[in-house]
């Protein structure tokens, strides 16, 4: 039982390049999330998926797109990377039922955009 | 919009000292409350959570937190810290409204350094 896994662990991009961050969970959770973590700002929600087939914007969605490929996988795409997207990205999942939303986090992807 | 405020950005203390980290949130309705910890180079792990019931919640590694509804607070405490408690601590709130469905609002985090 691996929990939430993310690939890659590290990535360096040049401005304007594109890439996709992958996330998978094996806990059979319905809901999945993408956050970015920046110093002094905590974690901010980029996009989330309440269930397979649905996605919604979070607090900071500009410059990103997501795909909920199936129940297990939720990917985050940067179409044209910018230096402001240098950050650590965390994927999370939860079984949000009856108002109880404990989220489980992946190990993170450290992205640098030059 | 809801907000979460953590009072201290950096805390430095010696081993065996007591720790208290403040967390306040702005939403007046029903909430789920969480404290997460992030050890250096690692991902976030859940320390403890409050959904309902006893407002004094005990978590892992000797941590506890008290939910005071009238003060909109959920402060984290540990009576005696160890060097291994050096980490960043995040308070998070899920306000149970239609608009904030499933979304955790995080505080900015408190970096705790425990010196030997």
Report CA dihedral (A29, A35, A39, A41) to the nearest 10 degrees: -100
Are A43 and B106 within 8 A, CB to CB?
A: yes
Instruction: Give chain A positions within 8 Å (CB) of B48.
Output: none
Inter-chain contact A101–B102, Cβ cutoff 8 Å?
yes
CA-nearest of B114, B100, B110 to B24 is: B110
Q: With contacts defined as CB-CB under 8 Å, which chain A residues touch B45?
A: 105
| CB contact A107 to B (< 8 Å) | yes
Omega before residue A58 within 30° of 0, cis: no
Nearest by CB: A42 against B34, B45, B106: B106
Diameter over CA atoms, chain A: 44
Residue partners of B67: CB distance under 8 A and separation at least 6: B33, B50, B55, B56, B57, B73, B74
Map residue B7 onto helix, strand or coil.
coil
Distance CA B4, CA B26 (A): 7
Tens digit of each residue's pLDDT (9 = 90 or more) over A26-74: 999 999 999 999 988 889 999 999 888 899 999 999 999 999 989 999 9
Query: For residue A96, what are its two tokens?
Result: 């949000």
In A1-114, the DSSP E strands lie at 4-7, 10-13, 19-25, 31-37, 43-49, 56-57, 64-68, 74-78, 87-94, 104-105, 109-113
Contact: B101, A50; criterion CB under 8 Å:
yes
Per-residue pLDDT of chain B (116 residues; tens, 9 = 90+): 678 999 889 999 999 999 999 999 998 788 899 999 999 988 899 999 998 899 999 999 999 999 999 999 999 999 999 999 999 999 999 887 766 667 889 999 999 999 99
């Amino acid at each position: 039982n691996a929990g939430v896994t993310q690939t890659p662990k590290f990535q360096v991009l040049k401005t304007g390049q594109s890439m996709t961050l992958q996330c998978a969970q094996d806990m059979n959770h319905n809901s999945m999330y993408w956050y970015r973590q920046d110093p002094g700002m905590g974690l901010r929600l980029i996009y989330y998926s309440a269930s397979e087939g649905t996605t919604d914007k979070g607090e900071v969605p500009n410059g990103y797109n997501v795909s909920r490929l199936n129940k297990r996988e939720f990917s985050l795409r940067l179409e044209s990377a910018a230096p402001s997207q240098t950050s650590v990205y965390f994927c999370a999942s939860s079984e949000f039922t009856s108002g109880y939303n404990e989220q489980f986090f992946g190990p993170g992807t450290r992205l640098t955009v030059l | 919009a809801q907000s979460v405020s953590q009072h201290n950005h950096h805390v430095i203390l010696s081993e065996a000292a007591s720790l208290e980290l403040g967390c306040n949130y702005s939403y007046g309705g029903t909430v789920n409350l969480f404290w997460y910890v992030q050890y250096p180079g690692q991902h976030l792990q859940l320390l403890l959570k409050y959904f309902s019931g006893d407002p004094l919640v005990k978590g892992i590694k000797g941590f506890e937190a008290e939910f005071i509804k009238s003060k909109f607070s959920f402060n984290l405490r540990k009576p005696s810290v160890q060097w291994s408690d050096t980490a960043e601590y995040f308070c998070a709130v899920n306000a149970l409204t239609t608009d904030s469905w499933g979304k955790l609002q995080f505080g900015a985090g408190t970096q705790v350094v425990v010196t030997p």
